[in-house]
Amino acid sequence: MKTLLLTLCVFLLGSSPSFGDELSKIMLGQLTVEHLHNPIQLDQPMPRLSWKILSDDETTRNVVQKSYQVLVASRPELLSGEKADLWDSGVVESDQSVLVPYEGKTLTSRQTCYWKVRVTDNHGRRSGWSNVGTWSMALLDPADWSGSQWIGLKEDTRDSDLACRWSLTLKKSLRSHPSPLLRKDVSLDKVIRKAIAYVSGVGYADFYINGQKVGDAVLDPGQTNYGQHTLYVAHDVTDSLQTGTNALGFWLGNGFYGQNIGFDGKFGYGQPSVRAKIFIKYADGSTDEIVTDESWKATVSPTIFDNVYWGETYDARQEIDGWAQPELDDSDWQTAVQKEPPCPDNRLRPQLLPPIKEVQRLQPVSIKEVAPETWLFDFGKNIAGWVEMEVSQDPGDVIEILPAEVLDKVTGRADQRTYGGAPGRPYELYHVCKGGGSESWSPRFTYSGFQYVEISGLKNPPTKDSVTAVFVRSDVKRTGSFECSEDLLNEQYAASLLSLEGNWHSLPEDCPHREKCGWLGDAHATADLSLFNYDMNTFYLKYIRDIEDSRRKDGRLRRVRPKSAGVPTMVAPGKRANRIANIDWGVAYLILPWRLYVHTGDAEAFRSRFDHVKDFLAYYRTYRNKQGVIDNGLGDWCPPRWDRKQAPEYMECHPYVSGTAFYFQALHIASQMAQVLGDDRYSRQCLEEAEEIKTVFEKVYLQPIKDSDLKHYGSQTATVMALKLGMVSKDDTDDRVEGLVHDINGLHDGHHACGIHGLRHLYTVLAEQGRDALAYEMLADTAFPSPGYVLSCGLSTWPERRWEWKKERYYRNSFNHPMNGGFAAFMHESLGGINPDPASPGYKHFYLQPRLTAQLAWASASTESPYGVVRSEWKTEGDMFRWEIEIPVNTTATVRIPCSPNAELWENGRQVKDASPATDSRGEQWFELKLGSGIFRFEVRRQKVAE
């Protein structure tokens, strides 16, 4: 086998061109700092730099960076030569091109740095200098905020009945906190060279200069545990300010900070307020500062009610024309008052995750009048956000907007039962018309999940152009793709991504219409799916900090780790469901940073908090019972037909079984983290305990399957987890796989019986164990409870629970829960065959091995690694298998090409004459190659593989 690999590598990699070869060049692009492109608010004193290497000739292969040189300067002109005043790394012999730490002079608050890089490769070629990248430091010292205050509204002067709503749970009328407008005129008498504004608003703060909103973000800044840390946003406002008089304004909303009525008033933190500071540098070199303080003016806004769970009311008759324009007569406004800070100054942190934006606009696919002056709009798919409507009505007319995920099966009207009763009342939007012509409106400080919208009070029939759905989410960049010959699998993939996207509002939510909570179990179930398809770096780093900030402790933890700050809670951030987590939810605190590291190579997500990982294991170790397994777990959530009113033990997989498996996984992750951090002793301790857990798991949970001579661990989920996590010995693997297959075919008529934990790995495990045909049959099936059945019911996102809706529609639970789409990582892992290597993270080395090549005609998958695009595109035509792959520069891949006996391997039109298939332990045959970078076009002429 070694001879075969060597022969193939020599053939495929080719010879190296000599130094100075002008036929091909290497180029540099996509410069990032801390995963960001030209950021202006970095709080890392020693930021890490990354670049990607490109070649203009795809025939040149096996390109590896040999050395690099980085220059960092305080002014761009200082980079014109080959030296710089802040840092010259010199020529560093290294292949590291990702997360290279800056090692130059100490950087200060608001300092701007300019940098470039050049490299040499293993073929003797040297790149030119890259384009110049930049970064600017944030406010690194709490004293940088000096002079500014948290300010807000003193007196609530709302006098409208619509400022109140009736609580169905408390049986009384409640008011949201007011939504204030704040403003101030400032005079600037010099030419402005640079102006940066730093704005922290709680809950949400829209910033205006001279009548124009600054930036295109909405629902900004993102939600946090406000008492632990609060985000601020940096804006370059150089072009917004002018010499002369300028008006500065803020429009504040409650967001999750002013959560005084929905669910429970105890979940709130206080009334909306804002703190801001603008640093101005003039052309003559002098500087100035503008701060929020009690010299500002304040009044109530036309948003007379806003709550993220109950909706919003806007009275257009109360609009103040030119409120953010210079020289407004604001003599009747209140004086702004100083507010209590949400957190200490040293816990104000820059917002580095992508802001929430309007990402897509949808026209209705149908409009139907369902009652007098009441119209139902169907937007074709279940999204999150709001509607923007244009109407022409009389003054004082009230337009009611009711979003919904589903329609009542009897009346055909919008049905909000999937929103649940827990928030205390329905989610409703009201617009009070100003009259006098056309006016348009959309909510500002609230959002919801919906496919349908029912609008009442319209005196004129609407058109498709008069009401638009606006998809609103964190603007996380899409970086992956998948498509195959089976349309139903493509639909499952699309539903999984749409469910993810609709639940990103500065954190991974469980549903965008009802709870809007960051449940930890939901987050880790979808981690790999997210990382294959999106740039999750800063989004996950923020959420991991949210989990850290949410930690709690109890007497059990104090006994084993008395100095610990706590262990994870069920939900982060926020005050709802913030009890100490069951292990299968809390384990997200390990899974998320580890999977982020595997996909990106960034160990900082766990490096600084590894003591907390030890706290986690010490705490849940106390749940080991006399048998040695873990008596803790919430369970394999939402298996088919499961009613949560039943006790958890009625799940086919008892919560303690999956809880023990997750504890085993946590031990392995902690061991690997410890190895990365150089703590070999702790790593060994974790592995030793993991072996103990493996032994007792087998002893306690392995059981015969009724009416068969097979065994498994009592359920599909337990068996899938044991196989995926490495809890089954090599000698027993085939038997456990047979037990799993029997459970699927013999006990469940060819269907899954898993909730979110088992479903995440079910199809991947089947493919890894050579059961491609069964995995395909299950995914291509449309009978209950398959994924195909769910989509055959007309859904575009994954519902929280699976019921036989074609017999009786079941509306009580959410219809947009991404946790149930975590299995779609299978599309990359198995169909595309793309898998990162934990031992060489961030795709420095990775694996390519496609599955289901006998069941599908073709498949295409890609993901954007830190080094460039990883791509896998294959198709089967008769006895011919063709596969084109792309391996980025500065990486390597182990490639396994499926084949049959006596197959011939060709690459780019040339036969590899000495190649012969290797057979794995299951009898499947592959050509196995170790390849460097390049685009490879393989062709296998083979006998057709039997299904």
Q: Quick check: helix, strand or coil at residue 278?
A: strand
Under 8 Å between Cβ of 900 and 938: no
Rounded to 5 degrees, φ, ψ at 471 are: -80, 120
Under 8 Å between Cβ of 57 and 24: yes
Identity of the amino acid at 728: V
Under 8 Å between Cβ of 667 and 690: yes
Task: Round to whole Å and give the CA distance between 567 and 550.
Answer: 8
- Which token pair is 727? 């809890």
Measured CA distances, 466 to 326, 379, 438, 441 (Å)? 32, 13, 10, 11
> Residues with Cβ < 8 Å from 794, sequence gap 6 or more?
none
Identity of the amino acid at 609: R
Kindly give the residue spans of alpha helices, DSSP state H, lying in 646-771: 655-676, 680-701, 716-725, 733-742, 756-768
Residue 678 CB-density burial (10 A; 0-12 exposed, 13-18 middle, 19+ buried): exposed
Q: Quick check: helix, strand or coil at residue 472?
A: strand
Cα 403 from chain centroid?
25
Cα distance between the two ends of the chain: 27
Task: Round to whole Å and give the CA distance between 498 and 451.
Answer: 12
Task: Round to whole Å and give the CA distance between 743 and 300.
Answer: 62
Handedness of CA 798, 800, 804, 805 (dihedral sign): negative
Q: Please choose, from the candidates 883, 827, 897, 821, the residue with its C-alpha nearest in 3D space to the C-alpha of residue 532.
A: 827
926 forms beta bridges with 898, 918
Under 8 Å between Cβ of 260 and 310: no
- For residue 591, the number of C-alpha atoms closer than 13 Å in the C-beta half-sphere is 23
- How would you write 130-172 as a 3-class SS string? CCCEEEEECCCCHHHHCCCCCEECCCCCCCCHHHEEEECCCCE
- For residue 18, the number of C-alpha atoms closer than 13 Å in the C-beta half-sphere is 0
Task: Round to whole Å and give the CA distance between 135 and 112.
Answer: 6
Residue 804 CB-density burial (10 A; 0-12 exposed, 13-18 middle, 19+ buried): middle
* Whole-angstrom Cα Rg for the chain: 29
Q: Please choose, from the candidates 419, 350, 349, 407, the residue with its C-alpha nearest in 3D space to the C-alpha of residue 378.
A: 407
Which residues are catalytic, by number?
Answer: 515, 800
> Residues with Cβ < 8 Å from 142, sequence gap 6 or more?
344, 345, 346, 348
Q: Please choose, from the candidates 286, 232, 270, the residue with its C-alpha nearest in 3D space to the C-alpha of residue 40.
A: 232
Q: What H or E segment, with its residue span, contains residue 59? A: none
- Which token pair is 254? 């409650």
Task: Round to whole Å and give the CA distance between 441 and 462.
Answer: 14
Q: What H or E segment, with its residue span, contains residue 881? A: strand 880-887
Under 8 Å between Cβ of 17 and 941: no
